[in-house]
Structures are given as structure tokens and as C-alpha cells.
């Protein structure tokens, strides 16, 4: 089969089981003749920074939860074998028992391009701070003080926190990495 007849399709998987679907599909491609029809199985991933115990950790999560991208030459046999992979619910855009609809090239470049941008950029912090929430300062000269969030600036990753110093409320501008929730 030529590479030009292969198109991108979307498999719907049970959310959280995307990696298992990819592992199983990759094993099938290596050990059987499915490799003639399927060239790639991808899970679009993004990097997310989280703060745990005052330390910044990097975690990868699925950019499109519940979906696995497959580049394949879709025949009835290929469709059946992919559909019968454990934890697969079916194809996106396919009527029950019908042939799946491939993604348009513009959709593929948009999805894969945005994932590449996220891999390079990757400065998302997965901590939603909200106004009037109590936080403790963990870094800087005011380490150990507690306060209440007055303002949240997600673009700059900054908080305005009212801290009581010498019996008087004082506003501090702190970064997301300098505080933790109480």
C-alpha cells in the first residue's frame, strides 16, 4: 500500500485509557500485518506544570482526552481490527457500522501544529487560584506569612495577596510559585 492513500482518523477511546489503546495498537502493528495499513498511532500530549509540596513538577496529559489519532489506509479489515482494540469505543464521525470519515489535512496540521507549539511553550500552571482564597507564602522575604488573595493575574502568573504584617494589612504581589494553598 502506498503512503499517499493513508489518511488520519480519530479513534474514540475510554478517557484515561488512551495510552493502553496506543500500546495495544503499536503491538498489533509490530506483530501482525496491520503495519501494512496503519503507519502511525498518536496521542496528542501537552506539558502541564503543577506545584506539589512547594515544588514545580512537569506532567504530560492528553491534549484531546478520549481520542487517539491513527494514520491508516482504511479497509474493512483494518477498520474492524482497530475498532476491536480493548478500550476503543469506535471511530469519530462514523455511523454505527459505517466507514469512518478521515480528518481534513487542515485539521491534522492544526492539531499536530498546536501540540508542537505546546511542547515548545509549555508554561501552563494547573493551579486555579481564586479571589478570597487563603494562601501561605513559601518563598521570598515574607516566607511563612499567610494572607488572602485580592487579585489573580493568570497572564503574568501573579497574585495580589493581603498579608497582615505588624498588625496592619499590606498588599504583596507574588508569583504563583511563591505561594501555596492553605
Distance CA 159, CA 152 (A): 5
Q: What is the pLDDT of residues 152-164, one digit of tens each?
A: 888 788 899 999 8
Number of residues that this document lists for the chain? 182
- Averaging pLDDT over each range in 33-47, 90-104, 112-126, which range is the top one? 33-47
Residue 70 has pLDDT above 90, yes or no: yes
pTM: 0.61
- According to DSSP, the β-strands at 168-175 and 158-165 are antiparallel
Grid coordinates of 171:
498588599
Distance CA 10, CA 28 (A): 17
Residue 166 has pLDDT above 90, yes or no: no
Whether the CA torsion 22, 3, 44, 9 is positive or negative: it is negative
Grid coordinates of 176:
504563583
Q: What integer pLDDT is reported at residue 125 of this predicted model?
A: 52
* Nearest residue to 58 (alpha-carbon basis) of 68, 67, 47: 47
Distance CA 71, CA 164 (A): 59
Distance CA 104, CA 112 (A): 12
Q: What integer pLDDT is reported at residue 119 of this predicted model?
A: 54
Q: Which residue has the higher pLDDT, 176 or 4?
A: 176
Q: What is the CA radius of gyration of the chain?
A: 23
Give buried/exposed letters for 120-159 (b at 16+ CB in 10 A, else e): eeeeebeeebeeebebbbbeeebeebebbbeebeeeebeb
- In this structure, what DSSP letter does residue 104 have? P
Q: Which domains does the chain have, with CATH numbers?
A: 3-121 (3.30.70.940), 134-181 (2.30.30.30)
Q: Which residues, in sequence order, are bridge partners of residue 5?
A: none
Amino acid at each position: 500500500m502506498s503512503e499517499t492513500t493513508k489518511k488520519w482518523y480519530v479513534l474514540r477511546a475510554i478517557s484515561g485509557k488512551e495510552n493502553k489503546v496506543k500500546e495495544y495498537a503499536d503491538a498489533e502493528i509490530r506483530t501482525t500485518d496491520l503495519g501494512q495499513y496503519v503507519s502511525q498511532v498518536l496521542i496528542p500530549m501537552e506539558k502541564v506544570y503543577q506545584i506539589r509540596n512547594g515544588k514545580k513538577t512537569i506532567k504530560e496529559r492528553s491534549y484531546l482526552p478520549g481520542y487517539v489519532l491513527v494514520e491508516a489506509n482504511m479497509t474493512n479489515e483494518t477498520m474492524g481490527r482497530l475498532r476491536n482494540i480493548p478500550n476503543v469505543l469506535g471511530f469519530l464521525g462514523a455511523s454505527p457500522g459505517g466507514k469512518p470519515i478521515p480528518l481534513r489535512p487542515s485539521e491534522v496540521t492544526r492539531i499536530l501544529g498546536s501540540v508542537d507549539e505546546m511542547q515548545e511553550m509549555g508554561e501552563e500552571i494547573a493551579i486555579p487560584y481564586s479571589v478570597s482564597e487563603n494562601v501561605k507564602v513559601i518563598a521570598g522575604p515574607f516566607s511563612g506569612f499567610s494572607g488572602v488573595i485580592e487579585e489573580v493575574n493568570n497572564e503574568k502568573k501573579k497574585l495580589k495577596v493581603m498579608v497582615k504584617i505588624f498588625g496592619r494589612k499590606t498588599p504583596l504581589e507574588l508569583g504563583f510559585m511563591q505561594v501555596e494553598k492553605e
